[in-house]
Amino acid sequence: MDGNRRLDFHGNYTAQIHGHGHGGISKAVMGQLPRGTSYPAPPMHETALAEIICDRIPGVEQVVFNNSGTEAVMVAIRAARAHTGRNRVALFEGCYHGSSDSVLVGGSDLPSPTDTVRVSEPGADMSGLPSGTTKDAVLIKYNDSVAVKEAVIKFGDQLAAIVVEPIMGAGGVIPAKREFLDTIRKETKKHGIVMICDEVISLRQAVGGAQSYYGVIPDMTTMGKIIGGGFPIGGVGGLREFMTPLSERGNVANLGTFSANPISMSAGVAGMEALDEGAIADLNRQGDLLRAGMKSSVQRRKVGARVSGIGSLFWLHWTETPVDCPRVVEQASSELSLLTYIGLLNRGVQVSARGMACLSTPMEDSDIELFIAALDDTLEELKRDAWI
Ligand SMILES: Cc1ncc(COP(=O)(O)O)c(C=O)c1O
């Protein structure tokens, strides 16, 4: 509206993996529109999308769809409670799993990075939540295997599920350590706890999602964003045994008037078909290029910042401490983060103000160079104007 042009490294919080106005997705949606926009029975595109997802993702033998990642997580937790007959759910410090009551805890006001507390009862992320919300949750330090073991020793027989982002998104774009995910897998199996991988953001890491990249098969997987081709969607998948509560033999219904609507389903099919192995490899190659450029700019300008991310996800944190958990992210300078965001905006680069950025398939290597140049120029300006 004000005449500015910006290159979109935000992608609506990573959902727009094919950018905007993708030809194949537009065609699929345009083809579906005159045939109907919602039905009270499964449309054929739902089956097609389910087949693509079940073929690709190791921990997904069956899948149901709803309208958002929020709903997917809510339903997965409900199924885990039904499966185990237990109530409490363990989450990780700094996590974000959407806006259902039971996961709006522990996202901020974290212990300091040097605090020895590893397992705690979380605080609420906002007001208006039922009083039991925080009591039903257990909060564990991210990327800390000892913390996982401690949580299971203390609360194992009460836990229905441990929910984990294999690549933490909103908490700072932090990849999990391999042995941390292995520990969660081992401990949940041992104690009959459902391991839920929230892949709403991380699914873009590989054709089989981050779980195939790490080689860890969770019991349940929640999805959203990229599986809908830019339209509203959520997906709850899992190994057959853990999907039973959601089947006709179970008693957890996946409700929703617009769940699995044919517009989201047809856009999803087109989007996922276009996101093949080659497309993901190219995105990840460009991600490596971009992070290397960001790191060399930070070193050249001699500023105290760290680059985080993996694959096609990345961010810059104003701290000299290695960024392996959200405690470090919370201690980083939010003022410099805001100034970086503004500096990039002023140079034609759109990222998330809260600190997350990603690539999309239409990007060329020249777009990566544009980002690095914009960041380099921003760092120089921050130094020149004595912000650093
Ligand atoms: C890891 C994760 N889970 C769940 C959600 C919620 O998805 P939605 O915004 O579609 O409700 C998000 C949203 O950003 C997310 O990052």
358 lines ligand 1 (CB under 6 A): no
**Quick check: 354 pLDDT over 90?**
no
Number of folded domains that form the chain: 2
Residue 170 Cα: closest atom of ligand 1: 16
- Residue 198 a catalytic site member: yes
Same domain? For 203 and 349 the reply is no
Alpha helix (H) residue ranges in 215-254:
240-243
Residue 95 Cα: closest atom of ligand 1: 1
Q: Find the farthest-apart pair of alpha carbons in the chain and give their distance in angstroms, rounded.
A: 66
Identify whether 223 is part of a domain. yes
pLDDT in tens, 116-171: 999 998 999 999 999 899 999 999 999 999 999 999 999 999 999 999 999 999 99
96 lines ligand 1 (CB under 6 A): yes
- Residue 376 a catalytic site member: no
Q: What pTM was estimated for this model as a whole?
A: 0.98
CA distance 260 to 256: 9
Identify whether 1 is part of a domain. no
**Mean pLDDT along residues 336-348:** 97
Out of 274, 302, 323, pick the residue that ends a domain.
274
Identify whether 2 is part of a domain. no
pLDDT in tens, 29-64: 999 999 999 999 988 999 999 999 999 999 999 999
104 lines ligand 1 (CB under 6 A): no
Residues 6+ apart with CB under 8 A from 323: 172, 174, 306, 308, 317, 329, 332
Ligand 1 centre from 355 Cα, in Å?
Answer: 15
pLDDT in tens, 66-82: 999 999 999 999 999 99
Out of 223, 251, 274, pick the residue that ends a domain.
274
Identify whether 325 is part of a domain. yes
Identify whether 376 is part of a domain. yes
**Mean pLDDT along residues 206-219:** 98
**Quick check: 277 pLDDT over 90?**
yes
CATH number of domain containing 202:
3.40.640.10
pLDDT range class, residue 355, cuts 50, 70, 90: confident
**Quick check: 280 pLDDT over 90?**
yes
Same domain? For 33 and 13 the reply is no
173 lines ligand 1 (CB under 6 A): no
pLDDT in tens, 286-305: 999 999 999 999 999 999 99
Identify whether 344 is part of a domain. yes
Q: 3-class SS at 178?
A: helix
CA distance 287 to 363: 11
The tokens for 296 are 């060399």
Identify whether 199 is part of a domain. yes
Residue pointed to by tokens 């969770």: 218
Q: H-helix or E-strand containing 246?
A: none
Same domain? For 13 and 27 the reply is no
**Mean pLDDT along residues 186-195:** 98
Check: CB of residue 273 under 8 Å from CB of residue 27.
no
